[in-house]
């Protein structure tokens, strides 16, 4: 994972990606990470409502 560029961490609902982001920041010192709030489900609802979800 790059430490030089912004990185978005995502999961289905945003909870697991938030936990992963916290661990990466606390344990490895990342400062360039962003959680996709609400996960892919929230992104789908706003930008791709017809996208199939698994």
How many other C-beta atoms lie within 10 A of the C-beta of residue 15? Answer: 12
In the structure, how many helices (H) and strands (E) does the chain have?
2, 2
Active site residues: 11
Q: 9 near 38, Cβ under 8 Å?
A: no
């Amino acid at each position: 994972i790059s430490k030089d560029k912004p990185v978005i961490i995502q999961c289905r609902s945003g909870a697991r990606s938030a936990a992963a982001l916290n661990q990466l920041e606390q344990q490895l010192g990342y400062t360039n990470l962003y959680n996709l709030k609400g996960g892919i489900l929230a992104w789908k609802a706003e930008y791709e409502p017809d996208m199939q979800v698994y």
